[in-house]
Amino acid sequence: MITIKEIANMLNVSTTTVSNVIHGKTKEVSPANVKRIQKVLKEYDYMPNINARNLASNRSRIIGMVVKVSGKENPFKDQFFGELLGAVEERVRSQGYNLMVYALSDVQQVQKFILSWNMDGLVTCGFVEGEIAYLQERYKKPIVIIDDYDTDGLDHCINIRLEDKKAAYEMTKYVISCGHKEIAFLADNNKNLDHQRFLGYCQAMDEAGLVGGKENFLKICPGNRREQDNLEELYKRSFAYTAIICSSDYYASMLLNAFQDRGRRVPDEISITGFDDVGYASLVRPALTTIRQDIQRKGKVAVEMLIKMLRGTTGEVETLVVLPTQLIIRDSVRNLNE
């Protein structure tokens, strides 16, 4: 690969002049030289050495996307993360940046990578309050936090999430409007966004004079060897309900199959709802009644907010973006009024 210095020597000009042409500062260079230099640039297919450029200019044009994992899982197996990543990549690239991807379990690792590479900005997913604060303290550049709670108001950090509580509230209200009274809520934990969804469920139950609360929180434990026991137990407990609000399409589908395999008909005998509206939500049978979120947009907005901070647009950048959701009614909830 040809370098600036080599070109400068070839043409008997200075590296400054070549550099200026490369960066389109043609006003500072005589037309004749612009031409000569551009010709060589093209002829030798000049490519800048980005490492050198970064070192000299103290920036990197790298944006990191790091998603938190526990254990050895592959988070991108989940359609949600895959789609999110794709949207982020597109935005990052089209804005002239480069995307580095990490699945990490430890903030210290995150710190090491973003500092060493001198990354210009970071998009994170799944880290919680203390962890973000840790990062924010030692990494003084923009951070976008996706789908987290309790991380508001940190300096140079932006939160992006859904109206989780409202969405779950509306879903629950819809199910109640179909005549259901014994309704459970299911998730794999009760923190962060799952907790918000749980709160929405509780509120709707409360307002309808029905009993929600912790005793109707069903915990699902997928991915370990007790999964089958867990499903069996959930199956048994499900007889106490006519409907179950699940915090993801993934769990809704698992339930769907576990129940149907055991001979329980959905939605005739029990109704099930999902969350996210991922690709297969409309593919499973019965098709899932669910909450749609626009994952693509989430990724896009994330990067755009990041870039806005990067450019340091003098106008203040909002520090929180809450994306809308939409109730999608399909076939997995039975109308008991009919």
- Point out which residues pair with 146 in neighbouring strands: 125, 160
Q: What is the separation, in whole angstroms, between the first and last Cα of the chain?
A: 74
By beta-carbon proximity to a copy of itself, the closer residue of 103 and 336 is 103
Separation between Cα atoms, residue 322 and residue 274, nearest integer Å: 20
**119 three-class SS:** coil
CB of 65 to DNA, least distance (A): 24
Amino acid at 155: D
In degrees rounded to 5, what are phi and psi of residue 311? -70, -10
By beta-carbon proximity to a copy of itself, the closer residue of 87 and 243 is 87
Amino acid at 34: V
Residue burial 45-84, b: 16+ Cβ < 10 Å; e: rest: ebeeeeeeebeeeeebbbbbbbbbbeeeeebbebbbbebb
Which residues inside 10-49 make contact with DNA, applying CB under 7 A? Answer: 12-17, 19-20, 22-23, 27-30, 32-33, 46-49
CB of 96 to DNA, least distance (A): 13
By beta-carbon proximity to a copy of itself, the closer residue of 44 and 217 is 44
**Binding of a copy of itself at residue 283 (CB under 8 A)?**
yes
**Binding of a copy of itself at residue 314 (CB under 8 A)?**
no
Stretch that binds a copy of itself, among 33-41, 49-57, 129-137, 169-177 (CB under 8 A): 49-57
Question: Measuring CA to CA, which residue among 173, 177, 195, 321 is closest to residue 247?
Answer: 195
On whether the CB atoms of residues 275 and 252 are closer than 8 A, the answer is yes
Residue 89 binding result from DNA, a copy of itself, none, given CB thresholds of 5 to 8 Å by partner type: a copy of itself
Map tokens 């509206």 to a residue. 277
In degrees rounded to 5, what are phi and psi of residue 223? 80, 5
- Point out which residues pair with 185 in neighbouring strands: 217, 245
Which residues inside 285-304 make contact with a copy of itself, applying CB under 8 A? Answer: 285, 296
Residue 217 binding result from DNA, a copy of itself, none, given CB thresholds of 5 to 8 Å by partner type: none
On whether the CB atoms of residues 162 and 195 are closer than 8 A, the answer is no
Stretch that binds DNA, among 50-58, 251-259, 266-274, 285-293 (CB under 7 A): 50-58
Which residues inside 135-154 make contact with a copy of itself, applying CB under 8 A? Answer: 138
**Binding of DNA at residue 94 (CB under 7 A)?**
no
By beta-carbon proximity to a copy of itself, the closer residue of 27 and 140 is 140
Among 5, 23, 39, 112, binds a copy of itself (CB under 8 A): 112
By beta-carbon proximity to DNA, the closer residue of 14 and 257 is 14
Residue 179 binding result from a copy of itself, DNA, none, given CB thresholds of 5 to 8 Å by partner type: none
Count of residues in the chain: 338
Contacting positions for DNA (CB under 7 A) = 3-5, 12-17, 19-20, 22-23, 27-30, 32-33, 46-49, 52-53, 55-58
